[in-house]
Amino acid sequence: MDTTYLLEWANLLLRWAHVVVAIAWIGSSFYFVFLDNSLTPPTDPALKDKGVNGELWAVHGGGFYHPQKYMVAPKSLPQNLHWFYWESYSTWLTGFALFTVMYLVNAGTFLVDKSVFDWAPSTAIAASLGFLVLFWVAYDLICRWVGEKGGKVGGDAIVAGLVLVYVVVASWAACQLFAGRAAFLLVGAMLATAMSANVFFWIIPGQRKVIAQMKAGIPVDPIHGQRAKQRSVHNTYFTLPVLIAMLSNHYGWLYQGPWNWLVLVLLMLAGALIRHSFVARHKALVAGRRVPWEHAVVGCAVLVGLAIWLAPPPRPPAAALPAKVSLAEVTAVMEQRCVICHNAQVQQKNVALHTPELIRQQAQAIYQQTVVLKLMPMNNSTQITDAERALIQRWFETGAPD
């Protein structure tokens, strides 16, 4: 069976699995952030005596729920204790597998854009993996050295500032080294790696230590809960930037420009601001304060500004359009730039463009992929020029004539 066909199936199934487990992880993460910020001190003396620090009454699915939070831990361990970690691990594992199938196996096409940085695929692979590891190491050091003082978690604003600086520098570096599409995905992947590493190295081990201390009958050290809370809060702020970084690499007009790194930073900043607005909203509702929507307004304003900045120039009136482009001219471009991957023998995505008749049949798709989205050729591996894209645009917009 054809290897390319099998890789397409692996791509489909891994992407499906990745989306499913990511929904589970993000959903549980968002719920617990909401829960933490919506709890109120208990008024029932019995709950206070049990050590309950906060409670919430909720209704859903025809029933009433009464979650309770113990700080630092309940007086005795419950018999049945549910752990939340496989959602995180499964998301990272399926994501890395998908990254391997798409980018590492085809590094010469997906990671390397010689017009950006001309290096060997093997070196690009090593550098891409280094991006994931280095960010986690730097981020973890920032959290431990700056974010923890005197055994307590603090310095949140300083931590946020340092992490923001690192993300900006990493975004710039990725866009100078890798193909634009890969650069956007790598920055999202490095944040996602830190999120899962937070669960693996700090949140779950800290909870295990709390349980071990309870079983040993010794006082529970509150630092474990404080660290877990710190990393969980970081994870919720990383979530929307990760999602937009992953989704945006499907839109060539975002990552093809000379300022693509700034586009990525602004997209992620908008996501973080919008997420903060929801976190602040939960706290405000419990405290009876005004809901602070201004962060979401700023985030949306950033997105509107990006849309205006990246908007293509207005089309000239019909009378000002240049002469029609012939199918023969477009065929010449296709033969040089596209037929290498879309021919009788190799039909990437089941598309063949090796005859004028096939080009005419695929006119809409060619226009969409090469002119509107600028996704093709992949990472501009065949070095199609702006003039050739403009030629295809004129051909299609004047009715795709013969």
Is 86 contained in some domain? Answer: no
Q: Using 50, 70 and 90 to split pLDDT, how confident is the model at 136?
A: very high
pLDDT of residue 64: 94
Structural domain total, the chain:
2
Whether residue 286 sits in one domain with residue 354: no
Averaged pLDDT for residues 364-384: 83
Whether residues 132 and 181 fall in one domain: yes
Q: What is the pLDDT of residue 18?
A: 95
Average pLDDT on 197-206 reads: 95
For the segment 237-258, what is each residue's pLDDT rounded down to a tens digit?
999 999 999 998 888 889 988 8
Residues 297 and 329 in one domain: no
Task: Give domain status of residue 344, yes or no.
Answer: yes
Q: Based on the fold, state whether residues 262 and 333 are members of the same structural domain.
A: no
169 lies in the same domain as 274: yes
Give domain status of residue 11, yes or no: no
C-beta of residue 28 within 8 angstroms of C-beta of residue 85? no
CA distance 94 to 272: 24
Residue 59 lies in a domain: no
d(CA 310, CA 3) in angstroms, rounded, equals: 38
What average pLDDT does range 289-304 have in this prediction? 92
Contacts of 342 (CB under 8 A, 6+ apart): 348, 351, 352, 353, 354
Tens digit of pLDDT for each residue in 13-22? 999 999 999 9
Q: Are residues 236 and 357 in the same domain?
A: no
Q: In which domain, by residue range, is 124 found?
A: 109-310
Do 294 and 158 belong to one domain? Answer: yes
d(CA 303, CA 297): 10
Instruction: Tell me, yes or no, whether 356 lies in a domain.
Output: yes
In this predicted structure, what is the pLDDT of residue 183? 96
Residue with tokens 């906060």: 54
3-class DSSP state of 92: helix
pLDDT over threshold 70, residue 365: yes
pLDDT at position 277 over 70: yes
pTM, full prediction: 0.84
pLDDT of 376: 84
pLDDT value of residue 320: 56
Q: For the residues 366-378, what does the mean pLDDT come to?
A: 84
262 and 327 part of one domain = no
Mean pLDDT, the chain, whole residue set:
88
User: Which of 247, 282, 310 is at the close of a domain?
Assistant: 310
Residue 7 inside a domain? The answer is no
331 and 306 inside one domain: no
CB atoms within 10 A of CB 275: 22
**C-alpha–C-alpha distance, residues 353 and 367, integer Å:** 13
Whether residues 125 and 268 share a domain: the answer is yes
Pick 192 or 331 by higher pLDDT: 192
- Domain end residue (candidates: 310, 337, 369): 310
Question: Which pLDDT band holds residue 151 (cuts at 50, 70, 90)?
Answer: very low
Q: Does residue 238 belong to any structural domain of this protein? A: yes
Q: Is 26 a member of any domain?
A: no
Same domain, 331 and 225: no
- pLDDT tens-digit series, residues 316-332: 555 555 567 888 888 88
Q: What is the mean pLDDT of residues 165-172?
A: 97
For the chain, what is the total number of helices (H) and then of strands (E)? Answer: 16, 6
Among 310, 326, 345, the domain-final residue is: 310
Answer yes or no: do 279 and 138 share one domain.
Answer: yes
| Better pLDDT: 215 or 97 | 97
Burial of residue 353 (CB within 10 Å: 0-12, 13-18, 19+) is buried
The proportion of the chain whose per-residue pLDDT surpasses 70, expressed as a percent, equals 95
239 neighbors 25 (Cβ within 8 angstroms): no
Residue with token string 């795709």: 400
Per-residue model confidence as pLDDT tens digits over 37-86: 899 999 899 898 888 999 999 999 899 999 999 887 888 888 888 888 99
| H or E segment to which residue 64 belongs | strand 63-65
Asked whether 203 and 228 are in contact (CB, 8 A), the reply is yes
Does the N-terminal peptide bond of residue 314 adopt cis geometry, omega within 30 degrees of 0?
Answer: no
